[in-house]
Amino acid sequence: MKITRNNRVIIETTNMRHGCLEQGGVSGAVDSYDLDAVLRATGLPDRTAVAAASDTDLAPAYGDNGVMIYQAIERECVGHIVRTGHIIQ
């Protein structure tokens, strides 16, 4: 995941299925979250761990429950929409 100079975590969403864009999904949506809130929500130890992680990795704060990082962030953090993206028809 990308981290800005202002300590914001940037997550870009593109719905894919089997390597192709998914019909009815979103392409290019970008959300911004506070780094401290992301660290609390996911259980990752520090900034470098967040930068090295993928949003589809499992969140350590949830143990073995199968909750991915982006799901933990969506549940517990308030984000800002940077770009809405396009709906795939």
Phi/psi at 17 (nearest 5 deg)?
-140, 120
Sequence-distant (6+) residues with CB within 8 A of 68 are: 55, 56, 57, 58, 59
Q: Helix %, strand %, coil % for the chain, to 5?
A: 30, 35, 40
Which residue reads 């993928």 in tokens? 54
Using one digit for the tens of pLDDT, what is the confidence trace for 29-53?
899 999 999 999 999 999 999 999 9
Domain ranges for the chain, please list them.
2-87
pTM for the complete prediction? 0.80
pLDDT in tens, 26-35: 888 899 999 9
pLDDT digits (tens, 9 = 90+) for 72-84: 998 899 888 888 8
CA angle in degrees (0–180, nearest 5) for 20-23-27: 70
